[in-house]
Copies of this chain bind each other. A is one copy, B any other.
Amino acid sequence: MIIVMQLEATQAQIDAVAGAIREVGLDPLILPGEDRVAIGIPAAIKPDQRERLDSMLGSLEGINKISQTSRPYKLASIEFKRQRTQFEIKGVGFGPDQFTMIAGPCSIESYDQLDEAAHLVQSAGGKVLRGGAFKPRTSPYAFQGLQEEGLKLMKQVGDARGLVTITEVMSGDLVPMVAEYTDILQIGARSMQNFPLLVAAGRSGKPVFLKRGPGATVDEFLLAAEYVLNQGGSQVILCERGILPLDRSYTRNTFDLAVVPVLKEYSHLPVFADPSHGTGVAKYVPPMAKAALVAGADGLMVEVHPNPREALSDGSQALTPDQFTALMADLGKLAQAVGVKLA
């Protein structure tokens, strides 16, 4: 942290800032500049110190600007774990040098619908099946999912076909139930800062697929991962899925694909992208899925439905079987061109 004083800051004001820094147990470093004074703190600041300090500085006079000079996350940072996180679930790899496809319907609707989707995913070479049992819906009048019944279908289909499964969990008290039926816990975009849920997921020992909140900065996103890691979870996958749209009339969100290389620069965790929610429109999913692969994502989550026309939710963003098969073929070519293994 560096505190830059106003041009005409008095000695008493400078002393007050220095005093506040000392009060939280840190050493201020006075930096007299040409026209004004800055005060730096050369040591690492612990979170509780920073919080106390923020409060104190908020009530002091003579300050022009406060800059945070450190990144707030630690366990999620590549500085603290130089080796990229890589792990396998039932033989399916997540992490560098491979490109892992997660696909399936938005909502689990029936055994047949889910199994048909699973068949489709598997035929095209995919190994991870997604499907929602508990659905976070903006409107209370929208289909809320099959709930525990859906989880059971997911387990049945996953077991029968030997697919890894992933489904969303919406609150901390449901973590044990969801963890029983599925391989990976998904935390949805609107739950990214549901802190009790993050803690429960971290404690579960299960792999966690964490979607970025639509308004989340990179620091907020990595701090959400930090909540999980801090509870002992180590298999966390980050997923970009679209941020608040500038323009709602052509796509549902703004797909922030450049966050993929950013996250890979600052974190060791695998980074996925979800172009289905990222754009919200089926016809934009293939170009953005391919773009994600060449931009360096470690995998994708896409929605595919045996019959999008009949989907109970989000049918307008789900790929048809044909579109999905064509996309997998295109991804295969690109994976080869850039030298990653498509799974």
Contact = CB atoms under 8 A, between A and B. Distances in A.
Interface of A: 2, 4, 6-8, 20, 29, 31-36, 38, 40, 42-44, 46-48, 51-52, 54-59, 64-65, 67-73, 79-80, 82, 136-143, 170-174, 190-191, 193-197, 213-215, 217-220, 223, 226-227, 230, 243-244, 246-251, 254-262, 265-266, 275, 278-279, 281-284, 287-288, 290-296, 308-318, 320, 330, 333-334, 336-338
B79 A6 contact: yes
Contact of A193 (B190, B266, B295): B190
Nearest to A221: B247
Contacts of A283: 261, 265
A70 B317 CA distance: 22
A276 B336 CA distance: 26
Given A29-B31, A65-B69, A65-B70, A171 B143 contact: no
A257 B291 contact: yes
A310 B55 contact: yes
A254 B254 contact: yes
A293 to B, nearest CB: 8
Given A34-B43, A40-B40, A68 B67 contact: yes
Secondary structure type dominating chain A contacts: mixed
Nearest to A54: B316
A152 B47 CA distance: 27
A269 to B, nearest CB: 16
A80 B262 CA distance: 38
